[in-house]
Structure 1
Amino acid sequence: MQARVNSSKQASERTFTENARRAQIVDAAVEVIADQGYANASFAKIAKQAGLSSTGMISYHFQGKGDLIREVVTRIMATAAEFIVGKLDTESGYRGRMLAFFAANLALVDEYPKHMRALSNIAANAGTDDPHLFGLLDQLGSNAAAQADILRAGQRDGVFRDFDPAVMVMAIRGALDAAIARAAVDPEFDAAATARELAEIFDRATRKDA
């Protein structure tokens, strides 16, 4: 009998077929969580969404639901990071990149609505299944630290006024999270207009001549 694929095995060590099957399962899990919620994301529903004949294929590639959800979180965060960085790479200067950050995050909601709904649902409903929400809290913490470093650099260069970068990052993240949550339930939500409004608010809150 063929042994189960170890989830800790590096992607480079897996075959093309194994990686493709794992991606198929992760994509199906995102769909199910986004549409039916984390608590209802059973292997049976994910297998059906993926077009698999049984849940055995999921168990072959992932060592339980926690292992699968951790991979879902990792994939969504990687997709989000790639998308946002791609948008910011066209901007220059601390203020320009900070303002573009809002547009990039809310454009992400338009481009990957189910990814964002799934991630929010995992964060809100995972409970104590994983004390670090399947790696999400660790990744968000690293992102926040990097964003705070950028704000500090802008302060040193005289672009931003004196404020606590960690608190400002909390405010920015909180505003974006609230906007993303609203987008999930409001069919009339205007991501571009919201991005412009938030950019104006935080431009006034951070610029040195405010």
Structure 2
Amino acid sequence: MPPRVEQDFEGRRQQIIDGALQVFSSKGFEKATNKDIAAAAGIGSPGLIYHYFKDKADLFRQVVEQRLPVLQLLIHNEEEMMSKPPKVVLTIFARAFLTVLDNPTSMAMMKLLFSEAIRHPAVAEMVNKIGPSRSISFLTRYLEKQMAAGIFKPMDSAAAARCFVGSFLAYMITREVFLQPDARQISLDTMVATAVDIFLQGMLVTAETQQYTATSKVSYTAHFQ
């Protein structure tokens, strides 16, 4: 495909993705129609969507992946992130996760997705494969690598990953759903820095924890001799 044609093709794809984001954020996945999406995207025919996407599910996946910064981060930088130090990785991940708060349309879509996922198991399964499962899998693998290197304390990596993500979900829900005034006064930078520092204080191996672990092993061995 010639460069100019490729540019036109990708430009139209992005135009449809933007239109679909508006429709999904206002109607949800189940109620969104190709006619709605075509109108929002400013294209003449709803059938034209299938020239760029396999079906509505494929379009939805593209919308979520391309308009949620944390997924763009993982799609393009996951392996590179695996080699960076903990504070850097956790901070970058947290900032990307919370950047959605700066985009009212993306935030509106996330709210609808949560409500639809509760009511429709098929939607929940689809959303999980696109976003939550990928994010938790990355964090779990990263934490396991840090534990194996002796940087983080040994513990359940999957549980630890959910503890980290949970702090940001709580921030988003109290700020955007329950509209708690104190939550809305906490800046994204403050939330990121605080959550990362608290998490690292609990996870990092220190001389004190190493001594405690060594003492525990000695006591355990002596008890059974």
Q: Normalized against structure 1, the TM-score is what? A: 0.70
Identity %, equivalent residues: 21
CA-to-aligned-CA distance 1:71-97 (integer Å, 9 cap, x gap) = 2233235x43445759x97x9522343
What CA distance in whole angstroms lies between the structure 2 residues aligned with 1:30 and 1:70? 11
In the alignment, is the contact (CA less than 8 A) between 1:38 and 1:118 conserved in 2?
no
> Structure 2 stretches of 5 or more lacking a match?
210-225
Task: Indicate yes or no: 2:23 matched with 1:32.
Answer: yes
Q: Give 1:171 shift.
A: 1.6
Q: 1:97 maps to which residue?
A: 89
Q: Give 1:172 shift.
A: 1.6
What CA distance in whole angstroms lies between the structure 1 residues aligned with 2:169 and 2:17? 23
What CA distance in whole angstroms lies between the structure 2 residues aligned with 1:176 and 1:56? 39
Across the aligned residues of Structure 1 and Structure 2, the Cα RMSD in angstroms comes to: 3.5
What CA distance in whole angstroms lies between the structure 1 residues aligned with 2:195 and 2:157? 17
Q: 2:7 maps to which residue?
A: 16
In the alignment, is the contact (CA less than 8 A) between 1:109 and 1:180 conserved in 2?
no
Pick closer, same or farther for the CA change 1:179–1:41 going to 2, 3 Å: farther
User: In the TM superposition, what are the counterparts of 1:106-125 in structure 2 within 5 Å?
Assistant: 106=98, 108-125=99-116
In the alignment, is the contact (CA less than 8 A) between 1:25 and 1:46 conserved in 2?
yes
Aligned mate of 1:193, from 190, 193, 196: 190
Higher helix share: 2
Aligned mate of 1:65, from 52, 56, 59: 56
Q: 1:6 maps to which residue?
A: none
Pick closer, same or farther for the CA change 1:160–1:38 going to 2, 3 Å: same
User: In the TM superposition, what are the counterparts of 1:113-192 in structure 2 within 5 Å?
Assistant: 113-126=104-117, 127-129=120-122, 132-133=125-126, 136-137=128-129, 140-185=132-177, 186=179, 188=184, 190-192=187-189
What CA distance in whole angstroms lies between the structure 2 residues aligned with 1:103 and 1:17? 32
Pick closer, same or farther for the CA change 1:101–1:124 going to 2, 3 Å: same
Pick closer, same or farther for the CA change 1:101–1:68 going to 2, 3 Å: closer
What amino acid is the match of 1:151?
A: L
What amino acid is the match of 2:15?
A: Q
Pick closer, same or farther for the CA change 1:160–1:99 going to 2, 3 Å: farther
Q: Give 1:60 shift.
A: 4.1
Which of the two has higher C-alpha Rg? 2
Pick closer, same or farther for the CA change 1:171–1:54 going to 2, 3 Å: same
Task: Indicate yes or no: 2:81 matched with 1:76.
Answer: no
Q: Normalized against structure 2, the TM-score is what? A: 0.66
Across the two proteins, how many residue pairs are aligned to each other?
193
Task: Indicate yes or no: 2:209 matched with 1:203.
Answer: no
Q: Which structure has more RCO (C-alpha within 8 Å, separation ≥ 6)?
A: 1
